[in-house]
Structure 1
């Protein structure tokens, strides 16, 4: 499924970038991917996905995939 049609960002790619991102909001995750939200309609869903990834990392603190999200409060 696509999170962002304007930038052709797939959900799995956004989730991966969210796990690697050192913090911030969905727009910062886009920036780590070299993207900028265009129309903005994706941002609510992207924030939800970012929140889900942070929750997952909270439940699995030893997960190496969550290196950038540990200790961050949900936005």
Structure 2
């Protein structure tokens, strides 16, 4: 699933960033070398990160 259309970030990318220590959407995006642009994706990215952190 595409999470961020502006940066072409997929769900698997956000999950990998969360597993590698990103705790926020902004941290995850920085880890991928980009930043949130329009912001529509931030709530979805947050939910994915929270889900990964709950599993860990």
- Length-normalised TM-score, structure 1: 0.70
Counting only pairs closer than 5 Å after superposition, residues 32-71 of structure 1 correspond to structure 2 as 32-57=31-56
- Which has the higher Rg, Structure 1 or Structure 2? 1
Q: Could you tell me which runs of 5 or more consecutive residues in structure 2 were left unpaired when the two chains were aligned.
A: none
Deviation of residue 24 (structure 1)? Answer: 3.4
- Which secondary structure does the structure 2 equivalent of 1:3 belong to? strand
Runs of 4+ aligned residues of structure 1 deviating over 4 Å after TM superposition are none
Shift of 1:18: 1.1
Q: Name the residue aligned to 2:2.
A: 2
Normalised TM-score (structure 2): 0.92
Q: Report the number of matched residues.
A: 56
- Aligned residue for 1:41, secondary structure, equals coil
Q: Which has the higher helix share?
A: 2
Q: Which runs of 5+ in 1 are unaligned?
A: 58-75
